[in-house]
Amino acid sequence: MTNAKTFWLTGLSGAGKSTIAVALKERFDTTGRLCAVLDGDAVRTGLCADLGFSPEARSENIRRVAHVCKLFNDNGLTVIVAMISPYADDRRNAQAVIGEQRFIEVHVATTLEICERRDPKGLYSKARAGLIPQFTGITAPYEAPAMPASLLDTASLSVTECVAALYSLA
Ligand code: ADP
């Protein structure tokens, strides 16, 4: 078994998952550790382009990505997942697929208020206007992890500090 891990970053849209994932990958790149980022937006343009945002579709989305993580980890690649993954059961199933020793659950725990203020993709204003149904935090639930390996509050931690916290878990 390789020492490859899956960092599973969960949190609301705009919480900082993608930003932290890319910065963590850069950190791994400098040390020569093979690593891939699986970003929810990218996944949904290809591998999961056929899926919507119902609870069932979100579960399938997570299931597919979890199996990709397992394949990558089996081949020695560390994976950083940046996906809202709002349902605790889906994340638990992902952990079962990937393996308990490899799965590192990270809650990017930025509050809805801050995410909405940032609104980096303009999605919250669209959701508030009723233009996006089933939007996590507004019209769809987010189930926070009960016992994440790491909890990052980006209101008080810089991107660099978040990366340092995760790097120490690798
Ligand atoms: P997500 O992937 O969770 O939807 P993004 O990473 O796309 O979120 O967007 C988060 C936004 O918050 C970016 O504009 C980023 O620059 C900003 N931000 C501010 N402080 C932080 C921080 N400490 N960590 C991560 N992102 C931050």
17 close to ligand 1 (CB < 6 Angstrom)? yes
Cite the DSSP H helix spans in the chain: 17-31, 40-45, 55-74, 88-98, 112-118, 123-128, 159-167
CATH of the domain at 149: 3.40.50.300
Is residue 88 one of the residues assigned to a domain? yes
Going by pLDDT thresholds of 50, 70 and 90, the confidence category of residue 10 is very high
Instruction: Look at residue 1 in the predicted model and tell me its pLDDT.
Output: 61
14 close to ligand 1 (CB < 6 Angstrom)? yes
Is residue 27 one of the residues assigned to a domain? yes
Q: Tell me the C-alpha distance between 77 and 30, whole Å.
A: 15
Dihedrals φ, ψ of 111, to 5°?
A: -70, 155
pLDDT at 53 over 80: yes
User: Mean pLDDT score of the chain, rounded to an integer?
Assistant: 97
Is residue 34 one of the residues assigned to a domain? yes
Is residue 76 one of the residues assigned to a domain? yes
Is residue 102 one of the residues assigned to a domain? yes
Annotated active-site residue 125? The verdict is no
Is residue 107 one of the residues assigned to a domain? yes
Q: Tell me the C-alpha distance between 17 and 148, whole Å.
A: 15
40 close to ligand 1 (CB < 6 Angstrom)? no
Is residue 46 one of the residues assigned to a domain? yes
Going by pLDDT thresholds of 50, 70 and 90, the confidence category of residue 13 is very high
Query: Which residue has its alpha carbon closest to ligand 1 atom 17?
Result: 16
82 close to ligand 1 (CB < 6 Angstrom)? yes
Q: Which domain does 123 fall in, by range? A: 6-167
Question: Among the atoms of ligand 1, which is closest to the Cα of residue 13?
Answer: 4
Instruction: Please give the distance, rounded to the nearest whole angstrom, from the Cα atom of residue 127 to the centre of ligand 1.
Output: 19
pLDDT in tens, 67-94: 999 999 999 999 999 999 999 999 999 9
In this structure, are residues 105 and 9 in contact, taking their beta carbons and an 8 Å threshold?
no
Is residue 1 one of the residues assigned to a domain? no
Above pLDDT 90, what percent of the chain? 98
Looking at residue 124, its amino acid is Y
The pick from 9, 17, 19 for probing ligand 1's pocket by mutation, whose C-beta has the most ligand atoms within 8 angstroms, reads 19
pLDDT at 2 over 80: no
pLDDT in tens, 91-138: 999 999 999 999 999 999 999 999 999 999 999 999 999 999 999 999
Domains held by the chain: number: 1
Tokens of 75: 């081949």
